[in-house]
Amino acid sequence: MYPDNFRYTKEHEWVLAEGDTGTVGITDHAQQELGDIVYVDLPKVGAKIAAGKSLGSVESVKAVSDIYSPVSGEVTAINESLADAPEKLNADPHGEAWLVKIRLSAPEEMQNLMTAADYQTYIGAEK
Amino acid sequence: MRYLPKSDSERRQMLDVCGVGSPEELFAHLPEAVRLQRPLDLPPGISEYEIVEYFRSRAAENANGYASFLGAGVYNHYRPVLVDTVVSRGEFLTAYTPYQAEISQGTLTQIFEFQTMICQLTGMDVANASMYDGSTAVPEAAMMAVRATGKGRVLVAKSVHPEYREVLRTYAKHQGMPVAEFGYAADGGTLDLEDLERHMDGLTGAVIVQSPNFFGMVEPVKAAAEIAHKRGALLVVVFTEAVSMGLLTPPVDADIAAGELQSFAISPCYGGPYAGILATKEKFIRQMPGRLVGQTTDSRGNRAFCLTLATREQHIRREKATSNICTNQALIALMATVYMTVYGKEGLRELAEQNLAKAHYLAGKLKTRFSGKFFNEFVVRVEGRTPEDVNKALLKRKIIGGLPLGRFYPELADSMLLCATEMSRRADMDVVAEVLAGAAVESSGAIKEVLA
Amino acid sequence: MIKKVTTHLSQNEALLFERSSPGKKGYQLPELDVPAVDAAEALGADNVRAEIPGFPEVSEVEAIRHFTRLSTWNYAIDHGMYPLGSCTMKYNPRINELVARIEGLAWAHPYAPESLCQGAMEVMARMEAALAEITGMDAVTLQPAAGAHGELTGILLIRALLEKKGNPRKKILIPDSAHGTNPATAAIAGYAVQNIRSSETGLLDVGALEKMVDQDVAALMVTNPNTLGVFEDHIMQAAEILHRKGALLYMDGANMNALVGMARPGDFGVDVMHLNLHKTFSTPHGGGGPGAGPVAVKKALEPFLPTPRLKRVGKKWAYDYKRKQSIGRVKAYYGNFGVLVRALAYILAHGGPGLRNATMDAVLNAVYIRKQLEPYFDLPYSSPNMHEVVFSDDRQARLGVRTGDIAKRLIDYGFHPYTVSFPLIVHGALMIEPTETEGKLEIDQFVEAMISIAKEVETDPEMVKNAPYHTRTSRVDEVTAARKPVLRWKG
């Protein structure tokens, strides 16, 4: 369920590091909690992001949740397809519905994040 | 008391269930120090008849039976009978905000129609379910433009309603939103476009103009839009006389239209309640404040309406909301909707044409101060007397004259703003012309005597 | 079992634009008594519009049928109780509608000469005095158009006073139980928001407050009774802490229906507050507005009130525009006069003793409901409640049924739902406020309905989750409405 090659945050974001590019998204747990997603607010390409700071938000009908970036860097791409089809986030949060790609400015930050096993324990405990 | 539907025995039964002997005991847990130890210093309740008498006496102390030539943001238009018939229905009058869509389709459908008609009227893509009034719609539009452009400076024309500009300043002061004004041309009474150019810069997010403006003049909206857009600002066009849109080109060059619907069957009511509107282009939807009604389907596949895009609003976004507004003016907007329905496409045009004719008849007998084009309001310079004195003379003829402009524009202290609508009668307009002309004759007569 | 309602025929009705036909008319204007004017000549050809595309064209009969049919699809106070917490959906007296339409009041122009507005000014002065007495405050402004507007005015007043003292400060403290307008307002007024958590009993944590109030805190915004319907019994200590550190206490007056005639905010340390005339003072909601949000203040804040203010000059009323310290205007003209008239009529009808009785009945109704529903729904806090009571859906949630579902099933029983999922400090809140204008029969039917639903949750949770069943429209698809907004008819 939770890919081993991802790393995870306590705020339910994931990041996949490939070289100096990190792909960021929200976890399946997050999309379940949010319910039907109606809108995603993403930063502009070129925006500078700091780890732990908000890079946008996800909306359901009755709630808004900030998305906190797991890593620092510059946004190199955003997932434009979510503008017309935010429901992808419910269907495939770990794959098709990635949110942004970031050129990592501090790759060592990855070590502060949880592994898949840790994350599963974490969400198990949260309940 | 007739609004408290409990008999003494019912009250006693309920007190028993609550385990207390008297209603006061239910307040016993309040700290002694906070409890009011004396009765309220208000007279005892009175009967329906006495209430009516009280308000009838107050009404008699206001203007009754006067013909009025006041406009200046609040207009005397006929209110079709159907308006009160509809809004007096308990299902509209006493209904709550339509959060529960299944039992609010009446209100929701009506607001959807309202939103549509405002778009049709203003030429915009989307309109919200109303703001408190025109004056508060202006700062909301300004804040919206600032959010959308990321630029914090606001430019507003001096020919925008003076009290609207005051409200804008109050809101802007604490937002870090500097507001600067640019002028109007002394001869034409319309925007001084050169002054606008001089004030424009790359930090300006919103340029705000009004058309017809406070002086009744039709503004060069397209030219203003070009100047604003060139430097990356949005153009907000304000209107206070909604009837003008029956005839005038809508502000399609604007990015945001903000206005007042009082002309559409909302009694002047000494200043409120009115209904403001905010309408904009598709791309700014998520920046819009206020409620929005959207079309959808129910689980059986039938068309239905519901409040939508609520995540912009205060009850979800809290401090990051697009506005703090909670109330809209649903019942007032309904009055406007019924009005727009009764008049319809042709009627609104014919109504506007009548307004144009009446005002131009009156203006034709006077000398207008500004040379620009106007709808149903215009400014005249008063000669020989002050505008206040002219109005005193008119009052004796049971006529309320135009608004003396000195209170808002010191440079126009010798002038007054006159408005004529479809309700203005020829005979009264003739008296106004006579008294104003008489003032001039008297003054020139006095000079002749001195020179003789 | 369901006693209050049964199924009933209701007319279908299309949108106005779908019923339109070119040339149909609902109006007739009189003949012009002046010459017609050529629009293109008078306005310039470029300024004349072609037509209003898509605007309705229907006859008078179709117009009245359209709106009448639409109206029958609504629930309203005239049908029955709205148990909505903090909304105070009380009866809207019809005499209020009549007096608001008296010609001399309804047609008064705000710029008419003051000598011809004395009646309107007297009404406003009377209203200011009555509200000052009810709230225990020194001065009142009637300018704000609604509660949130009043909140903004109130916070701007606080800022003005603190600025005069040399430091406007930076933050406003807001309880986590507060209505969303509170933080939204603070942000618009240029203050940062700091949340203060409620104690275990759901009340203001005075110990936490003592630690949090520093030189950066301008004010605390409270609702009292709070959004749980519980009186903040340490309110005077809270006021003392704030005042000692140079900060102020703002009260959101949404729950005044529990206090009128029994306690006055001015007496327990409040510096500034707003009232909601469309709640406590019976003016109609009309499907979402208009309202009015007068603001009442202590003397120290009076100089900053919006301009103009009424003043007595000899035997007449006049407006004072020379107010150098005023925060300015928050609205054009003087306020929602038409709403003020309705609220004053309500105050006149009740009078002092009547207002007090209304408050007591409001609390009696709420406590009566609490006692009877306590065995069926979890009460998150045991403190005594006043005019409203808040339950949580914990018990039902274990069976998969949430507060929103119970609310929808309540519709089938002929009631409007209570307030769902607010305040946020209660898990799955059911917030119930009957108001004093509900009689024993209506309330008993409500209680029976809620108990019946609680039992349905145990025997048939799936059925409850898919309610309502008897409405014209079943549950609407709010998700698609938000994903693909359609905000106007296009044809």
Complete DSSP assignment for A83-116: HH-TTHHHH-TTTTT--EEEEES-GGGGGGSBPH
How far, in Å, CA of B302 to CA of B296, rounded? 8
Q: Which residues pair with A100 in a beta bridge?
A: A24, A78
Q: What is the pLDDT of residue B439?
A: 64
Domain boundaries, chain B: 67-75+345-451, 81-339
- Give yes or no for C290 touching B (CB within 8 A): yes
CA C94 to chain centre: 19
The residues, ordered by sequence, that sit 6+ positions from A106 with a Cβ below 8 Å of its Cβ are A51, A71, A72, A73
- Give yes or no for B262 touching C (CB within 8 A): no
Query: B81-339 has which fold?
Result: Aspartate Aminotransferase; domain 2 (3.40.640)
Rounded to a whole number, what is the distance in Å from the CA of B84 to chain A's nearest CA?
35
Rounded to a whole number, what is the distance in Å from the CA of A86 to chain C's nearest CA?
7
How far, in Å, CA of B396 to CA of C310, rounded? 26
- Give yes or no for C263 touching B (CB within 8 A): yes
Chain C touching partners, 3 or more CB pairs below 8 A: A, B
Chain A touching partners, 3 or more CB pairs below 8 A: B, C
Range of the domain at A36: 7-122
The residues, ordered by sequence, that sit 6+ positions from C315 with a Cβ below 8 Å of its Cβ are none
Q: Which residues pair with A58 in a beta bridge?
A: A40, A65
Q: What is the pLDDT of residue B449?
A: 45
The predicted model scores a pTM of 0.94
The residues, ordered by sequence, that sit 6+ positions from C387 with a Cβ below 8 Å of its Cβ are C88, C225, C229, C255, C257, C258, C359, C362, C363, C365, C366, C433, C435
For residue B72, give the nearest of C20, C111, C151 by CB distance: C111
Q: C207 is written with which tokens?
A: 């110990």
Q: What is the pLDDT of residue B451?
A: 42
CB-CB neighbors (< 8 A) of A63 in chain B: 311, 316
Query: B67-75+345-451 has which fold?
Result: Aspartate Aminotransferase, domain 1 (3.90.1150)
Strand B179-182 relative to strand B153-157: parallel, antiparallel, unpaired?
Answer: parallel
Contact flag A64-B316 (C-beta cutoff 8 Å): yes
Q: C102 is written with which tokens?
A: 């008296």
Residue A27 covered by a domain: yes
Name the residue of chain A whose CA is nearest to B307's CA.
A61
- Give yes or no for A39 touching C (CB within 8 A): yes
- Give yes or no for A56 touching C (CB within 8 A): no
How far, in Å, CA of C122 to CA of C132, rounded? 15
How far, in Å, CA of C442 to CA of B59, rounded? 38
H-helix or E-strand containing B152? Answer: none
Q: How many domains does chain A have?
A: 1
Q: Which positions 302-341 of B are in contact with A (Cβ < 8 Å)?
A: 310-311, 316-317, 320
Rounded to a whole number, what is the distance in Å from the CA of B94 to chain C's nearest CA?
5
Going by pLDDT thresholds of 50, 70 and 90, the confidence category of residue A126 is low
State whether residue B359 is helix, strand or coil: helix
Is the four-CA dihedral B358, B361, B365, B367 of positive or negative sign? Answer: positive
CB-CB neighbors (< 8 A) of B311 in chain A: 38-39, 59, 61-64
Relative orientation angle of helices B8-18 and C440-459, to the nearest 10 degrees:
40
Residue A2 covered by a domain: no
Whether residue B273 is preceded by a cis peptide bond, meaning omega within 30 degrees of 0, is yes
State whether residue B268 is helix, strand or coil: coil
Name the residue of chain A whose CA is nearest to B309's CA.
A61
Q: B36 is written with which tokens?
A: 């009011």
Q: C43 is written with which tokens?
A: 């306005």
Position C83 pLDDT exceeds 90: yes
Is residue A7 within 8 A of residue A70, CB to CB? The reply is yes
> Could you tell me which of B340, B338, B331 has the C-alpha nearest to residue B97?
B331
CB-CB neighbors (< 8 A) of C422 in chain A: none
Q: Which residues pair with B66 in a beta bridge?
A: none
ipTM: 0.96
- Across the 452 residues of chain B, what is the mean pLDDT of every consecutive 10-residue run? 94 97 96 96 97 98 97 98 97 95 96 97 94 95 94 97 97 89 97 97 97 98 97 98 97 96 97 95 91 94 94 71 74 96 96 98 96 97 94 97 98 97 97 86 50 41
C-alpha distances in angstroms, B434 versus B68, B393, C112? 16, 11, 21
End-to-end CA distance of chain C: 45
- Give yes or no for B296 touching A (CB within 8 A): no
How far, in Å, CA of C143 to CA of C149, rounded? 9
How far, in Å, CA of C83 to CA of B12, rounded? 22
Q: Which residues pair with C175 in a beta bridge?
A: C196
The distance between the two most distant Cα atoms of chain A, rounded to a whole number of Å, is: 38
> Could you tell me which of B164, B208, B163 has the C-alpha nearest to residue B182?
B208
At residue C175, what are phi and psi to the nearest 5 degrees?
-65, 150
Q: B145 is written with which tokens?
A: 């433009």
Residue A127 covered by a domain: no
Q: Which residues pair with B404 in a beta bridge?
A: B416
- The answer to whether B67-75+345-451 and B81-339 have equal CATH topology is no
Task: Determine how many CB atoms are found less than 10 A away from the CB of residue B137.
Answer: 30
The residues, ordered by sequence, that sit 6+ positions from A108 with a Cβ below 8 Å of its Cβ are none
CB-CB neighbors (< 8 A) of A61 in chain B: 310-311
Is residue B217 within 8 A of residue B370, CB to CB? The reply is yes
Whether residue C468 is preceded by a cis peptide bond, meaning omega within 30 degrees of 0, is yes
Q: Which positions 264-293 of B are in contact with A (Cβ < 8 Å)?
A: 286
Q: Which positions 67-126 of A are in contact with B (Cβ < 8 Å)?
A: none
CA B290 to chain centre: 16
The residues, ordered by sequence, that sit 6+ positions from C185 with a Cβ below 8 Å of its Cβ are B324, C148, C151, C152, C155
The residues, ordered by sequence, that sit 6+ positions from C95 with a Cβ below 8 Å of its Cβ are B48, B51, B52, C345, C349
Is residue B373 within 8 A of residue C44, CB to CB? The reply is yes
Residue A118 covered by a domain: yes
SS (H, E, C) chain C: CCCCCCCCCCCCCCCHHHCCCCCCCCCCCCCCCCCCCCHHHHHCHHHECCCCCCCCCCCHHHHHHHHHHHHCCECCCCCCCCCECCCCCCCCCHHHHHHHCCHHHHCCCCCCCHHHEHHHHHHHHHHHHHHHHHHCCCEEECCCCCHHHHHHHHHHHHHHHHHHCCCCCCEEEEECCCCCHHHHHHHHCCCEEEEECECCCCCECHHHHHHHCCCCEEEEEEECCCCCCCCCCCHHHHHHHHHHCCCEEEEEHHHHHHCCCCECHHHHCCCEEECCCCCCCCCCCCCCCCCCCCEEECHHHHHHCCCCEEEEECCEEEEECCCCCCCCCCCCCCCCHHHHHHHHHHHHHHHHHHHHHHHHHHHHHHHHHHHHHCCCCECCCCCCCCCCEEEECHHHHCCCCCHHHHHHHHHHCCCCCCEECCCCCCCCEEEECCCCCCCHHHHHHHHHHHHHHHHHHHHCHHHHHCCCCCCCCCCECHHHHHHCCCCCCCC
Contact flag C338-B273 (C-beta cutoff 8 Å): yes
State whether residue B368 is helix, strand or coil: strand
State whether residue B40 is helix, strand or coil: coil
Relative orientation angle of helices B105-122 and C60-71, to the nearest 10 degrees:
130
- Per-residue pLDDT tens digits for C292-345: 999 999 999 999 999 999 999 999 999 999 999 999 999 999 999 999 999 999
Q: What's the mean pLDDT in C388-411?
A: 96
Position C188 pLDDT exceeds 90: no
For testing contact with chain B, the best of A38, A61, A65 (most B CBs within 10 A): A61
- Give yes or no for A38 touching C (CB within 8 A): yes
Residue A61 covered by a domain: yes
**Residue carrying the six token digits 């004093």:** C436
Q: How would you list the strands of the sheet with B415-419, edge to edge?
A: B377-381, B415-419, B403-404
Task: Give the gyration radius of chain B's Cα atoms.
Answer: 26
CB-CB neighbors (< 8 A) of A47 in chain B: none
Contact flag A39-B311 (C-beta cutoff 8 Å): yes
Which domains, ranges and CATH numbers included, belong to chain C?
16-71 (no CATH), 95-348 (3.40.640.10)
Is residue A39 within 8 A of residue C483, CB to CB? The reply is yes
Q: What is the pLDDT of residue C200?
A: 85
CB-CB neighbors (< 8 A) of C76 in chain B: 90-96
End-to-end CA distance of chain A: 17
How far, in Å, CA of A52 to CA of A73, rounded? 12
Task: Give the gyration radius of chain A's Cα atoms.
Answer: 13
CA B42 to chain centre: 34
C-alpha distances in angstroms, B438 versus B363, B405, C48? 15, 20, 35
Rounded to a whole number, what is the distance in Å from the CA of B305 to chain A's nearest CA?
15
How far, in Å, CA of C380 to CA of B201, rounded? 56
DSSP label at residue B231: T
Contact flag B400-C338 (C-beta cutoff 8 Å): no
Contact flag B102-C408 (C-beta cutoff 8 Å): yes
Q: What is the pLDDT of residue C194?
A: 94
Contact flag B296-C64 (C-beta cutoff 8 Å): no
Relative orientation angle of helices B426-451 and B387-396, to the nearest 10 degrees:
130
